[in-house]
A and B are shown apart, each in its own frame.
Chain A
Amino acid sequence: MDVAIIKYNAGNIRSVDHALKRLGVSAEITDDPDRIKAAERVIFPGVGEAVSTMAYLRERELDKLIAGLTQPVLGICLGQQLMCQWSEEGDTSCIGIFDQPVKQFPAHELKVPHMGWNSLDRLSGELFPESLLGSYVYFVHSYYVPECEDSAAVCNYIVPFSAAMQKGNFYATQFHPEKSGGPGQEILSNFLKL
């Protein structure tokens, strides 16, 4: 299968590539618009910060390119957040695939960032069969998308938030499937099987 991982100024993109290799798929890490458009699957990963990442994507017009893709697209972590309308992180206007805001976790006795393994609830869509209900996956984030009509999985930490989202051909996870052991591998595999 022809999978493109969108290359940009974010950390640890390679771990997604490694996870796909463990599933027997060799992906290409690229920012070439033609290669991205032609791929059967596109993964938009991300560890980083909203302002500089959006600036980087806009400069290369990757924001418009991503919004116009018609094959299955999977955003991960910051990827999910940037696929929303707007982020409280630096008051940043984002790509706008999901008509949702990205908010900062409020001050609370629970620690921020939300870091570690937490469980999935209220599952829907092809990536999240009922067998994954209650599965633990790995999160690292300080901003979140509230639970909404696009939520494909919900996690509860300080507030209930979108652990995963889906709208048409666009899929996204706030957690890192590439670092989430067996359940993570299953979710990635489900994305490849779409």
Chain B
Amino acid sequence: MLAKRIIPCLDIRNGMTVKGINFENVVDVGDPVELGAKYAQEGADELVYLDITATHEGRKLFADLVGRIAEHLNIPFTVGGGINHVSDAGILLSAGADKVSINSSAVRDPDLLDRIAGGFGNQFVVVAIDAQFKDEKWTVFVNGGRIPTDKELFSWAHEAQERGAGEILFTSMNHDGTKDGYACEALKTLSEKLSIPVIASGGAGKEDHFVEVFQEGKADAALAASIFHYNEIPIPELKSYLKQNHINIR
């Protein structure tokens, strides 16, 4: 049976892993390759590396870093941040990334998805969507959750699928950072509406949240950052807890 996936997410600035809340009070926590290898060793099924660098120099460092990650990691990894052109995705593919995550640039230029999927295959394209539930609807935001758009979560996710997304990574802004659990209801709707896998993000605080997101949220994978970085839930413990609760995991 296909296993549910646990995906730690690492934020990268200037080639280093950083921790911080909403891009503020960001501190370096070490080498992304070593941290990634540690997670892989502990049983992470995949990794996501997000480049939060805004500078040209930082981008160059990130591409170099992707090459080093590819050399050392024996599990798949996705990279994201600042992919605005097909050529940006091509550079990351050549450097060894298995998938790219595209967020704001896809909202601004949806045709970018057709072009990247057409060039490199649907399996290479993860569309990340940040959305907020307010006034009875889920509104899609861009620029790290700072700018609302006129797009609605479910219709945008469906459009992304039709344009060639291989997976949807949905972050609920209402749940992100709360540690009160994932947006299971919206995830379930999303998962049932789409024919491609859904990665849940935002809200993980304890082991039961992962059980809920797989059982009730019907998610194919669950992503989290801080609980892994701060070792609040070690991956091996999480996986044995999921097994006890009859979730099929690797």
Contact = CB atoms under 8 A, between A and B. Distances in A.
Nearest to B195: A111
A4 B223 CA distance: 37
Chain B at the A interface: mostly helix, strand, loop or mixed? loop
A112 interface: yes
B74 A185 contact: yes
Contacts, number: 82
B120 interface: yes
B166 A115 contact: yes
Contacts of B5: 116-117
A51 B4 CA distance: 32
A136 B3 contact: yes
B93 interface: yes
Nearest to B221: A116
B186 interface: no
B177 interface: no
Contacts of B123: 47, 113, 115, 140
A167 interface: no
B96 A19 contact: no
Given A116-B2, A116-B220, A49 B70 contact: no
A82 to B, nearest CB: 15
Nearest to B71: A18
A120 to B, nearest CB: 12
Contacts of A11: 93, 120-121, 124
- Interface SS of chain A: helix, strand, loop or mixed? mixed
A180 B74 CA distance: 6
Interface string B127-153: 000000000000000000000000000
B2 A18 contact: no
B121 A47 contact: yes
A15 B195 contact: no
A15 B99 CA distance: 13
B215 interface: no
Interface residues of B, number: 31
Interface in B4-35: 5
B242 interface: no
Nearest to B192: A109
B233 interface: no
Contacts of B94: 14
Contact of A110 (B2, B72, B124, B250): B2
B99 to A, nearest CB: 9
Contacts of B72: 18, 22
Nearest to B3: A117
A14 B70 contact: yes
A49 B5 CA distance: 26
Contact of A117 (B2, B71, B96, B166): B2
Nearest to B77: A179
B167 interface: yes
A7 B66 CA distance: 21
Contacts of B212: none
Contact of B197 (A15, A115, A118, A184): A115
Contacts of B93: 11-12
Interface string B216-229: 00001100000000
A136 B70 contact: no
A21 interface: yes
A47 to B, nearest CB: 6
B211 interface: no
Interface of A: 11-12, 14-15, 18-19, 21-22, 47-49, 110-119, 136, 138, 140, 156-157, 176, 178-182, 184-185
10 contacts: A14-B70, A19-B74, A47-B121, A47-B123, A111-B196, A116-B197, A116-B220, A136-B3, A179-B75, A181-B75
